[in-house]
Structure 1
Amino acid sequence: MFKKNRNAGNGMALEYITPQFVEGEIVVQLEKEEVERETEKWNSALIVYAIGEFPGYFIVKFQSLEDTEEILMVGPYSINYRPLILKKWSADFDFSKEFPTDIPLWVKLPHLPLNCWGSNSLSRITSTIGTPMYADECTAKQSRVSFARMLIEVNITKPLLDKIVVKDPNGRVFTQQVIYEWKPMFCEVCQVIGHKCDPNHPGEHGQARRRRGHAGQKNVVQKWISKGPIIPATQTTQQQGE
């Protein structure tokens, strides 16, 4: 019985490895193969951030990278009419931050000339907004030509462009409109997503949140309660319009 309880099957066995000293300082050198193996386990995971007064992270792991990309391509998503921010997991993701400032946003380019729908042209145009990730299926197949739609990782601490000046190979210059399917609120005072402080009372919202967090802290019990399925925001908009 005692042998079974000590078995690594009930946890994970560890061992002592003599630390290395480099110029009088302890430096931990990790093994490349093990780190790459663990990285591979989480490459198909998404970081899900729920917007609200009490925001939080969820890590959702999928069976394959293809499943992860398919979920990203279908969005945006909402829960109880609140948007969810989805971001691919990466090895340098910092859980100590409230949320990264670079987040994926769906962007539309209405009435974009059809000869500008090539992958290189779309990449060049959308790189002025952020880091291009994907074009949706209708854009890739050009089965809907009223607008091109792309997922772009954008730094929300900077102003979001609503127009882009484009010059084609023939020297023709035109201004392209940019439409964001959802623009996250970012408070420059509190440095958080989901609200903006009253300009007449800067920082008031963040201070109120902190006061609520400290008051009665010992009596607070957090409990997750399911309030409904997660559905794409586009579907929610259609339901409201019916």
Structure 2
Amino acid sequence: MFPFLVNRWNLRGKAVGSDLGRGMFQFRFDLVEDLQQVLENGPYHFDQWMIILQKWEPIISKNFPSQIPLWVEIHGLPKHFWQTEMLSVIGEELGQVLQTDITPATAKVRVLLNGLQPLTKESVVEFANGEEIVVTLDYKNLKSHCHHCHHLTHETKQCPGLLTKKEASPPPPD
């Protein structure tokens, strides 16, 4: 995995990776600019799985690292509401808004979200006149994840929620 990522990052300096166990790794970069570029250009994938890359902090927490920057395309929002402020409001429900992008064809928001929590696939947008609409959220560049519970940590066939339902179901009659 280390050579794959380092080659993909196109670094000016070098980066060295260490396996910390429990699926966690640490990279050391020669140049601060390389570290910043890697963090800004995520997310990254290895073997179809999203990789959480976060600048190291001197803490011990089961929730660290957890932050992933993702572009989220918003569907169902009337075009006359495609405004930076509106996209930011929708994005703030997901996490920290990093950027918005409005083109003639798409309305997107880049959000730093908690990759350990399930993805939000829909959001209710309330307007000043009291009306509401439901918009769908399409996470760009998202590969393997669970389509049942929307977690990034497993595929649908390994979903604990589905396994529990299967175990709770009575066996079919003979």
Length-normalised TM-score, structure 2: 0.54
- String of CA shifts for 1:141-183, please: whole Å, max 9, x gaps: x3x2332222212223433211111122333321111112226
1 CA distance for matches of 2:52 and 2:46? 11
Instruction: Kindly provide the amino acid, as one letter, of the partner of residue 84 in structure 1.
Output: I
Q: Which residue of 2 aligns with 1:155?
A: 114
2 CA distance for matches of 1:167 and 1:185? 29
Check 1:155–1:183 CA distance in 2 against 1; reply closer, same or farther (3 A cut).
Answer: farther
Asked if structure 1 preserves the Cα contact closer than 8 Å seen for 2:48 and 2:143, the reply is no
2 CA distance for matches of 1:84 and 1:157? 11
- Among 117, 133, 138, the alignment partner of 1:179 is 138
Q: Which residue of 1 aligns with 2:27?
A: 58
Percent identity between matched residues is 26
Check 1:115–1:72 CA distance in 2 against 1; reply closer, same or farther (3 A cut).
Answer: farther
- String of CA shifts for 1:96-126, please: whole Å, max 9, x gaps: 7584233323221135333333332222111
Q: Which residue of 2 aligns with 1:164?
A: 123
- String of CA shifts for 1:23-44, please: whole Å, max 9, x gaps: xxxxxxxxxxxxxxxxxxxxxx
Bigger proportion of residues as helix: 1
Q: Which residue of 1 aligns with 2:75?
A: 110
Unaligned runs of 5+ in 2: 1-16, 147-151, 165-174
Q: Which residue of 2 aligns with 1:130?
A: 95
Asked if structure 1 preserves the Cα contact closer than 8 Å seen for 2:48 and 2:144, the reply is no
Question: Does 1:84 find its partner at 2:67?
Answer: no
- String of CA shifts for 1:180-222, please: whole Å, max 9, x gaps: 2226759xxxxxx754657459xxxxxxxxxxxxxxxxxxxxx
2 CA distance for matches of 1:76 and 1:164? 22
Unaligned runs of 5+ in 1: 1-47, 187-192, 202-242
Other structure's SS at 1:178 match? strand
1 CA distance for matches of 2:59 and 2:92? 24
Other structure's SS at 1:94 match? coil
Other structure's SS at 1:152 match? strand
Task: Choose 1 or 2 for highest CA Rg.
Answer: 1
Asked if structure 1 preserves the Cα contact closer than 8 Å seen for 2:72 and 2:109, the reply is yes
Instruction: Kindly provide the amino acid, as one letter, of the partner of residue 156 in structure 1.
Output: G
1 CA distance for matches of 2:61 and 2:92? 28
Aligned residues between the structures: 136
2 CA distance for matches of 1:78 and 1:174? 33
Asked if structure 2 preserves the Cα contact closer than 8 Å seen for 1:156 and 1:184, the reply is no
Other structure's SS at 2:86 match? helix
Structural RMSD (CA)? 4.0
Asked if structure 2 preserves the Cα contact closer than 8 Å seen for 1:86 and 1:104, the reply is no
2 CA distance for matches of 1:120 and 1:194? 32
1 CA distance for matches of 2:109 and 2:30? 24
